[in-house]
Each structure stands twice: as structure tokens, then as C-alpha cells.
Amino acid sequence: MSAHSDDELVVLFSQGQNDAFEELLMRHKNGLYQYIFSLVKDDGTAGDLFQEVFLALYKHAADFKAQGKVKSWLFLTARNKSLNYLRDHKSLTSLDEQDEEGNEFWHEILPDGEISHLEQLTQQENFERIRQIVASLPPRQQEVLYLRPYFSFKEIAEMVGKPIGTVLADCHRGLEKVRKILMEQPEVEL
């Protein structure tokens, strides 16, 4: 991987360097594909939408202004295309549904012993279980958790068009559900 920023790669590509486009693709392909898949839940559809996002970048690279927003643009374009697909196929599960469960702070509800047990469950051997649990969460909470490895809460709030407090609450509720299910059913289901 080169030391060029995303903005620099877009500029290089718009000047004719195809290697720069390929590097952008390699840099973001995994996270972007996973994010699209988390929304549409189908490999074929995720592949098609993934292709559309990068084709759009390929065609419009010359229009980009260097503002450090290439990654945000990729994920936001992916989000819009995924939501349009779900809407067109009438399978849109609302990302706006409110879910008030899981608002409590943990020190209000967890005894000390349970906290220690939870810390043991956050070890690497339970990562697969955590992945399974996140995949079963409501769409809103799932979306925030899938975006977190790549964006700050502030960036996520801008992307999804919600206040940062709402995004934080969705993340908190999502983690609370992960905690509950992990404590109740820690084994991996095959």
C-alpha cells in the first residue's frame, strides 16, 4: 500500500493513473462490501451494488474536491444504493424504527460478578459469536456497529443524517443486546 491519502489517489487517478484507482479499490473493498452485505443480506445483490459504487467513483473522480471525504462518499453512496434497492424490492426494514430497549447504564443493572464474567466473554475466541449476534440485531443498531470500525460517531451521524446523540444511543442499545445475548448464550451456534 502506498502512503498516498484517499484524496491524493483520486487526484492521481483523475490525471490518468489507473493504479491509483485500483489502490482505492483494494483499500476499501473489504469494509465496503461487508457494510453493503449487512444492509441487503444477499451476496449477489451486495456484489452488484459494490460494483455500482466503484463504477460511480471511476466515472466521477474528476469531479471530486479534495476534502478528506472519499471514504465517507463511498459508504454514503453504498448506503443510498442499498436503501434504494431495498425500497424498490419492498424489503426495506426501516432504519428509522425506534427501539428504546437497552437505555440503562450498565452500573445500574449489572452486579460486579456479571461484569467480570462479561469481560471474559470479550476475548478473541468469542469474536465469531459476537459477529453472529450483531448480524441478528435491528437494522439501526446493526448499521452503527458495522460503521464503527471505520468512522467516528460524529462521521456516522453525518452519514446517516441523525444527531450524534441518537447514533450514540443506537450503539449503546446494540451493545446492550450483544451483552445480554452473549451472557445468556455464549456458545457459537453452527
Provide the binding-site residues for other proteins, judged by CB under 8 A. Answer: 18-19, 21-22, 25-26, 29-35, 43, 46-47, 50-51, 54-55, 58, 105-108, 110, 112, 115-116, 118-119, 122-124, 126-128, 130-131, 134, 145-146, 148-149, 152-154, 168, 171-172, 175, 178-179
Smallest separation (angstroms) from other proteins to the CB of 90:
25
Region label for 151, one of left (φ > 0), alpha (ψ between -120 and 50) or beta (otherwise): beta
Burial (CB count within 10 angstroms: exposed 0-12, middle 13-18, buried 19+), residue 164: middle
Query: C-beta of 16: minimal distance to other proteins in Å?
Result: 11
Helix (H, G, I), strand (E, B), or coil: what is residue 103? coil
CB of 145 to other proteins, least distance (A): 6
Q: What is the CA radius of gyration of the chain?
A: 19
C-alpha cell belonging to residue 19: 493504479
CB of 98 to other proteins, least distance (A): 19
Nearer to other proteins, 40 or 175 (CB): 175
Cα dihedral across residues 109, 112, 113, 116: positive or negative: positive
Q: Which is nearer to other proteins, 90 or 121 (CB)?
A: 121
